[in-house]
Structure formats: structure tokens, C-alpha cells
Amino acid sequence: MDELKQLQKDVTKAIDQYEAKRRNEALAAIEATAKEHGFSVAELTGSVSARKGKQPLPPKYAHPENPSLTWSGRGRQPAWIKEGLESGKSMNDYLIK
């Protein structure tokens, strides 16, 4: 049974790698065609790739003792926020003023 489970993992990994390779090849072909016509893919689709053009949000919250630790207020809460909330602090205590 252990060998079958390992084989299943290996097959799943191989399929994922194959699909990623095909996706990257398709993307490269699309980008090459767009470039031949003097455009970028983002210009043609009217969007900006999340990896290339998305700017990080400015920080909204900061750690009171270590101001280099910041958080925009979006996504997963940092551990220092969770710990502070559990100890009775409020989100207003962390706001950058």
C-alpha cells in the first residue's frame, strides 16, 4: 500500500509539472506573438499581471515596539497582531498615525 501511495504522489507531481510546462510554453508563445505585433499581453488583455504590476499596499498597522514590522490590513494577520489581540489590545492600538 505504501508503494502505491508513493507512486500516486509521483504521478500527481509529474502531471502537475507537465501541465505547468505546457502552460509556460503557451504563455511564451502568446507573449512572442504579441511582441511581434508591438504589444505586451497586458496591453492586449487590459490587465496587468499580478506578478509584475501589482503594487503592495501601504502599511496601515505597525508593531508598537518594532516599527519595522508592518501590516497593510489585508491577508493573514501577522502573529504579533494575533498575540496582541489575545492579550486584550485592539486594532486601534496598532494603527499608524
pLDDT, mean of each 10-residue run, the chain (97 residues) = 95 96 95 91 71 75 90 92 92 89
pTM beyond 0.75, yes or no? no
| Number of independent structural domains in the chain | 2
Write down the pLDDT at residue 50.
46
Q: Do residues 46 and 68 share a domain?
A: no
Write down the pLDDT at residue 48.
54
Q: Do residues 36 and 69 share a domain?
A: no
Within-domain flag for 47: yes
Q: Do residues 12 and 40 share a domain?
A: yes
**Cell, residue 71:** 501590516
Q: Which domain holds residue 41?
A: 8-53
Write down the pLDDT at residue 57.
85
Let me know: does 62 contact 69? Beta carbons within 8 Å. Answer: yes
Within-domain flag for 42: yes
Q: Do residues 16 and 38 share a domain?
A: yes
Within-domain flag for 29: yes
Write down the pLDDT at residue 70.
93
